[in-house]
Structure 1
Amino acid sequence: MRVAIWGASSGLGAAMVDYFYQQNIEVIAIAREPSKNPKLNNKKITTISCDAIDKDQVQTAVLALPENTLNISTMGSFGADIPVDYIGHRYLIDALEKSTSQHLLLVTSLGCGESWKYLSERAKMGFGGAVREKTLAEAWLQSSALRYTILRPGGLKDGAATYKGELSQYIEVHGAIHRTEVARLSHELLLNSNNYGKIYQCVDPTVTPY
């Protein structure tokens, strides 16, 4: 298995890199500024610099991937002048469709798609714009030719994998989860082709939201 992680310089993407590296899986780390994550250089992980709101850079990055690379995207840009959540993923999905790497695990968030109605008014006011952008990315992916899986985690917190994270579908859920646990569940989803074309959400009942 070879995994390219988009958004690898910080947050969930950095946790993904750490997790898959520890599983002895070949990792390619892609970010606008990979140097922001010094662990990438320390671990001698292959990196690609790519600003995802630049279509040409995305196409170049995808062309640099070895054949049949699995892709995980954790890209997000809450509060940015030009958010990557939709347009960056649109460029990525379009480029992957023309490549030999046809599988994308897209990590978005609770509240996307049909789960929008479960978001509190406070959440909609606080980060609803980002959720709507991510929902557009999900729709673009669902209408693509890629083999895809979508994962919507709850509130993200630092911490080790707990092995208590719960995947679910079609129900209302709220809560938090460690970033490393999201990485572990992502690995689980990648290992089973039955997960293609499906949307999951995940929270960890053992992790307090605040």
Structure 2
Amino acid sequence: MNIAIWGAGSGLGSAMIDYFHKQGANVIAIARNPSKNPKIAEYNITAISCDATDKKQVESAVSMLPENTINISTMGSFHTDTPVDYIGHRYLIDALEQNASNRLLLITSLGCGNSWQYLSDRAKQVFGNAIREKTLAEAWLQSSSLDFMILRPGGLKDGAPTNQGEISQDIEVHGAITRGEVARLSYELLLKNDSFGHIFQCVDPNLAPY
């Protein structure tokens, strides 16, 4: 299985690199600065440097992918000057539509799309702009020709898989989850062909939300 992980330099992308590599996948790491993640070199993983806010760089990176690569995007830009959440994903989705690798798992956040109504006023004030950007990315993906899946995790915490995360759909949920557990649940979802075309959310009920 060829897996391209966008946003592989740190955070959730780094956890994805670690988990998918350990499952034996042929992992391709894509990040603005792949050297930020020492595991990429340690695991001898193919790395592609790409600024996702640059359309030509995204198109070039996509053109390097092996045929039938499954793409996972963990890209995000909370409190940065040039948000990648919408425009980066728009460029990625558009490029993938012209490529043989037409499967994309987009990792966004609780609060996106129809789950906005469940966010507290404080969360809307702190994270609102980023969540709105991610919601736009979800809409662009859903209206594309790609074979897509969307996963909205709760508050992300550092940590390994807990094997206690819960996936749900179309219900109100709140809580947190480790990045390692999001990686594990993502892997499980990708193994099920009937997961594509759906939006999921995930939290670990055994973790304190903050």
* TM-score normalised per structure 1: 0.99
Partner of 1:24: 24
Partner of 1:157: 157
Partner of 1:50: 50
Partner of 1:204: 204
Letter in 2 for 1:32: R
Quote the offset at 1:200 in angstroms. 0.2
Quote the offset at 1:80 in angstroms. 1.2
Quote the offset at 1:150 in angstroms. 0.1
2:135 aligned with 1:131, yes or no?
no
Q: How big is each residue's C-alpha offset from its partner over 1:93-113, in whole Å with a ceiling of 9 and x where there is no partner? A: 000000010000000000000
What are the equivalent positions in structure 2 for 1:8-19 lying under 5 Å apart? 8-19=8-19
Quote the offset at 1:163 in angstroms. 1.0
Partner of 1:182: 182
The CA distance in 2 between the partners of 1:5 and 1:97, in whole Å, is 17
Q: How big is each residue's C-alpha offset from its partner over 1:109-150, in whole Å with a ceiling of 9 and x where there is no partner? A: 000000001000000100100000000000000000000000
Letter in 1 for 2:21: Y
Partner of 2:69: 69
- Percent of aligned pairs sharing the same letter: 70
Partner of 1:193: 193
List 4+ stretches of structure 1 deviating above 6 A. none
The CA distance in 2 between the partners of 1:163 and 1:35, in whole Å, is 30
Quote the offset at 1:189 in angstroms. 0.9
The CA distance in 1 between the partners of 2:159 and 2:58, in whole Å, is 31
Letter in 2 for 1:184: R
Q: How big is each residue's C-alpha offset from its partner over 1:60-85, in whole Å with a ceiling of 9 and x where there is no partner? A: 00000000000000000011111000
Quote the offset at 1:178 in angstroms. 0.6
Quote the offset at 1:207 in angstroms. 1.2
| SS class of match (1:85) | coil
The CA distance in 2 between the partners of 1:159 and 1:109, in whole Å, is 18
The CA distance in 2 between the partners of 1:191 and 1:40, in whole Å, is 23
Quote the offset at 1:162 in angstroms. 1.2
The CA distance in 2 between the partners of 1:142 and 1:48, in whole Å, is 26
Partner of 2:144: 144
Quote the offset at 1:155 in angstroms. 0.4
Aligned length: 210
Quote the offset at 1:43 in angstroms. 1.2
Q: How big is each residue's C-alpha offset from its partner over 1:24-83, in whole Å with a ceiling of 9 and x where there is no partner? A: 111000000001111111111100000000000000000000000000000000111110
Partner of 2:173: 173
| SS class of match (2:150) | strand
The CA distance in 2 between the partners of 1:184 and 1:164, in whole Å, is 10
Quote the offset at 1:208 in angstroms. 1.3
The CA distance in 2 between the partners of 1:159 and 1:79, in whole Å, is 23
